[in-house]
Chains A and B, each alone.
Chain A
Amino acid sequence: MDFQDNQNLIDNKEEKLLEPAVIAHQVVPQPPTPVISELILEVKNLTVSFGEENVVDNLSFSLKKGENVAIMGPNGAGKTVLLKALLGILPYQGEIKWSENAKISYVPQKILPEKNLPLSVEEFFRMKKAGKEQAKEALASVGITDEKFLKKMIGTISSGQLQRVLVAWGLVGNPNVLFFDEPTAGIDIGGEETIFNLLNKIEKERNLSIILVTHDMSVVYGFADSVLCLNKKLICYGPPSEALGSEGLKKLYGEGVTFYKHEH
């Protein structure tokens, strides 16, 4: 008797054991595996108003874990307001329910530190309780590996570098949901390309949900699993190719826009 035979015996046993289970499965269908459809966010009847005006009006949607969502809409459509309400920094009516294990982080649209602001990059990270090593690690994931960078004054680095620093700052503490408010805003074209690649890289490496506000169609098609079009009310929601048919766009931006689709 050698090893091989033993193995066969074990295999046979397993097969026999499996059989009743298979039959049972046919009789009583199992519910779909919970991992795939696990919701990380549920929004019901969300309304945010400034004075009389409803900037976000009766919005309902939900997000699955690991899903990347692009929020788009014309200027003044309430995109940033929605983002801030989801972050809990604006008062709202309705219901915003994050799952218990959701760990949210936020990358703001733009900050404009003065040139002589006495604050080093390292100290900026320390504000989020990140030590030197953590700061280095976070910066490395956005492509900054220069040791001396930590000592630089935050007001003296370029806007592209600042955007990277903000992304890195958002990654400290290993969030599983990352909010980006117009990550491409204010960066030159060369930088825009890298921020977009960066999003893809981060998303793959860290397995997190990215929710971003963007105007950029190529970002929407290339990156988002679903798109949420907003113009105070929810206009469309779904995978980009379905949600952004010419009908959806017409509803979102008005009659003028009938055709705009990137084919990659």
Chain B
Amino acid sequence: MNTSYFISLITAMFIGGAAGYVGSLMATKKMSLVGDVLSHIALPGIGLGLLYGINISLGALASLVLGIMLIWILSLRTELSMESLVGVVFVLSLAVGFLITPEEELLHSLFGDISAVAMPDAVAAVFISVVVFIAARMIYSKMMLAYVSEDLALASGVKINKYNLIYLFLIAAVVAFGIKVGGTLLTSAMIIVPAAVARNVSRNMRQYSLLSIMIGIASAVGGFAVFPFLAERFGLSVVAIGPVIILASIAFFTVSLIFKNNK
């Protein structure tokens, strides 16, 4: 237990909450895999950051923004679905990312490295989480309406394309600043799993969005709480904290399945 551990915990809680919240909007069928895959588009940026000694969050953000713009432009120009475009950009990023990321750092990019989280990173992550939360809250109900019926949303003056783009950028921000704690895998898990848990047990949008945030935070806390014991017992390195957080969220998911049957 040291300061770095607590800084990481707080960072993970904020990122977990923000990721859970934006993830809940991904309940839309069309988007569910987009967010997951999107997080890996950060890889080339992380690699470049490591190579040239730039902050990897900034590198990741740059690479995500580029990737998203590419996907968005292609989606307007072609008839292809968002998923297949994201898929194309995803494998491209993965290939480039693996080629340029130094081998010993690959594991850290995927799974994070809490020992690398310094105070400035934590402050940035907390700040970004709050900004993302506020922005997502502003577009939440419009995105949900677009999900219920695109025509209804368009007829009510909702600019769906614009909101989709804003939404993708919000995910990019969460992923970029969550990377140091849990790597790309953890952030994508935090986007998908809490929303799935919440969806299993919620009866309305308020419960759903609130639960998504809470499960995101609780998974981070749970993961950090359990980790020291697991680390001692099995001799895990700090890299393993991301996967432990993911397992914590999966534990919540299992519980939610039980409640779902009783709904």
Contact = CB atoms under 8 A, between A and B. Distances in A.
Interface of A: 84, 87-89, 105-106, 108, 111, 113, 116-120, 122-124, 126-128, 151, 153-154, 169
Given A106-B155, A123-B205, A123-B206, A118 B148 contact: no
Interface of B: 27, 141-142, 144-145, 148-149, 151-152, 154-156, 198-200, 202-208
Contacts of B27: 117-118
Nearest to B158: A127
A120 B199 contact: no
A127 B144 contact: yes
A115 to B, nearest CB: 11
A108 B152 contact: yes
26 contacts: A87-B155, A89-B154, A106-B151, A108-B149, A108-B151, A108-B152, A111-B148, A111-B152, A116-B199, A116-B200, A117-B27, A117-B148, A118-B198, A118-B202, A118-B204, A118-B208, A119-B144, A119-B148, A119-B204, A120-B205, A123-B206, A127-B141, A127-B148, A127-B156, A153-B204, A154-B148
A126 to B, nearest CB: 7
A113 B155 contact: no
Contacts of B151: 84, 89, 106, 108
A106 B148 contact: no
Contacts of A105: 155
B26 to A, nearest CB: 13
A166 to B, nearest CB: 8
A92 B198 CA distance: 42
Contacts of A87: 154-155
Contacts of A151: 203-204
Contacts of B204: 118-120, 122-123, 151, 153
A104 to B, nearest CB: 8
Given A111-B148, A123-B206, A118 B155 contact: no
A127 B145 contact: yes
A119 B206 CA distance: 8
Nearest to B151: A108
A92 to B, nearest CB: 14
A118 B152 contact: no
A127 B202 CA distance: 18
Contacts of B202: 118
A154 B204 CA distance: 9
Contacts of A88: 155
Contact of B152 (A106, A122, A153): A106
Contacts of A126: 141
Contacts of A122: 204
A118 B203 contact: yes
Given A118-B199, A118-B204, A118-B208, A124 B148 contact: yes
Contacts of B141: 126-127
A153 B206 contact: no
A89 B205 CA distance: 27
